[in-house]
Amino acid sequence: MEIRLNSMVQSTGLKKVKCSVFISGTGSNLKSLIHFSKKKNSPISIELIISDNANAKGLKFGKIFKISNKVFNFKNRLIAEKKIISEIKKKKIKLICLAGFMKILSKSFIKNFKGKILNIHPSLLPKYKGLYTHKRAILNREKYSGCTVHFVSSRLDSGKIILQKKIRISKFDTTKSLARKILIQEHKLYPEAIRKVISL
Ligand code: GRF
């Protein structure tokens, strides 16, 4: 898949890889990815924002930049995913970026888009998969934490790692301050990881 993404960029010159970003909440990573996509030399364009939550604050960024968004109720995941697949095909999306998307995608959805789904996680994977990463890192008196961008596989937070950024946890850090520090790094790491995936 990586090779196909790359050859598409090369063979079509300026043509950008069409992306969809999936969010559930604040959307600060979405915002940073939109800014990245608007840079002159950016290899991506964001064509579609998907959310499971109509009240996700991040949806406003899509509206500001006139990017279409779709909200799907995940009470029935199978139906939601079917609709998402149809939207993705319609818009010729080649890369899916999960950014604070709080639903677990089915094995068959992931298989369908193998090697095309990325996720960002606020820990140094394989440490602290799942939720409450900052709290657990502080409670365990870790000296370092950070963030990871990885390919999505059928096991939670376990796919191949693309890039990581390590930061030091200070003795004054709280869950909040650590989350804030890591988020700043996430906003830099995700675009870098996308560039890496596309140029592989
Ligand atoms: C980020 O910390 C991301 O790593 C995690 O969820 C958070 C989403 O933040 N998966 P935002 O919605 O992008 O601000």
- Domains in the chain with CATH codes: 2-199 (3.40.50.170)
If one counts every other C-beta atom within 10 angstroms of the C-beta of residue 176, the result is: 9
Cα-to-centroid distance, 11 and ligand 1 (Å): 34
Query: Alpha-carbon distance 137 to 169, whole Å?
Result: 9
Average pLDDT over residues 101-110: 97
CB 197 within 8 A of CB 5: yes
Ligand 1: which residue has its CA nearest to atom 7? 100
Work out the average pLDDT over 23-30.
Answer: 98
For ligand 1, atom 14, the nearest C-alpha belongs to 28
Using CB atoms within 10 A of its CB, is residue 195 exposed (0-12), middle (13-18) or buried (19+)? middle
- Max CA separation in the chain (angstroms): 51
What does the pLDDT read at residue 12?
47
Segment 113-161, tens digit of pLDDT: 999 999 999 999 999 999 999 999 999 999 999 999 999 999 999 999 9
The set of protein residues with a Cβ atom below 6 angstroms from ligand 1 is 23, 25-29, 58, 99-100, 120-122, 147, 183, 186
Quote the pLDDT of residue 6: 55
CA 126 to chain centre: 17
Active site amino acids: 121
CA distances from residue 132 to 51, 53, 55, 123, 166 in whole angstroms, order as listed: 21, 20, 22, 10, 18
What pLDDT score does 11 carry?
Answer: 43
124 close to 148: Cβ distance less than 8 angstroms:
yes
Q: How are strands ordered across the β-sheet holding 144-151?
A: 68-71, 44-51, 17-23, 95-98, 117-121, 144-151, 161-168
Ligand 1 pocket: which of 183, 185, 189, 190 to mutate (most atoms within 8 A of CB): 183
Instruction: Give the per-residue pLDDT at 4.
Output: 55
CA separation for the pair 144, 141 (Å, rounded): 9
How many contiguous H segments (helices) and E segments (strands) does the chain have?
A: 7, 7
Give distance in angstroms: CA of 10 to centre of ligand 1: 31
Statement: residue 200 has pLDDT above 70: yes
Please state, in angstroms and rounded to a whole number, the distance separating the CA atoms of residues 121 and 99.
Answer: 8
Instruction: Please choose, from the candidates 69, 56, 61, the residue with its C-alpha nearest in 3D space to the C-alpha of residue 26.
Output: 56
Distance CA 170, CA 108 (A): 42
pTM of the model: 0.93
